[in-house]
Amino acid sequence: MPHLLVSPLSSLGDALKSHGPSHLISLLSPEHMIETPPGFPAARHLRLGVNDIVDPAAGTAPPARQHIDALLEFSRQWDASQPLLIHCWAGISRSMASAFTILCDRLGPGREIEIASAMRRRAPHAQPNRLLVSHADEALGRGGAMIAALNVMGPPLLVEEGVTTSLPLVGL
């Protein structure tokens, strides 16, 4: 079954071995960005240097529209025959926002709340970065539906680090 995987950086090696993804997305602060893992095709690894902040004035490298544009372009090249693995530092915010964006893009408009609710069920710790999601909402022309869906998710289970989570493209 085609699916996305979301993991923290600490679980990246295990997730690569266990799930054999064809594509990899890394969302880390520019100063903590990793190289492409040995043996993984560099052309199938998107590295986005972005800090996990929700106020663009709060620091350097805030999430921006260009990050979402790159994410969408990259994810649209994925044929879903093998998993796409997305990770950030903790597997809670940037990576979950990216997974939410890709699912909304793939499944189409009008399903934002369904996707957000499925994400909450599968990942109680998910707290998608709202600035990334707001850029995605604009890029996908959702008129605020993606942000509204995050509000329906309710508060996350507070943890320091998430666990590797599978999010299917079918049968949410």
pLDDT-derived band of residue 55, with 50, 70 and 90 as boundaries?
confident
Q: Per the structure block, which two tokens stand in for 77? A: 């090249």
**51 touches 62 (CB < 8 A):** yes
Fold of 3-168: Protein-Tyrosine Phosphatase; Chain A (3.90.190)
To the nearest whole number, what is the mean pLDDT of the chain?
96
The residue behind tokens 């909402």 is: 137
pLDDT digits (tens, 9 = 90+) for 63-121: 999 999 999 999 999 999 999 999 999 999 999 999 999 999 999 999 999 999 999 99
Q: What is the pLDDT of residue 129?
A: 97
**Angle (nearest 5°) at CA 53 between 65 and 109:** 45
- Tens digits of per-residue pLDDT, 111-147? 999 999 999 999 999 999 999 999 999 999 999 999 9
SS3 27: strand
Instruction: Give residue 52's pLDDT.
Output: 95
pTM: 0.97
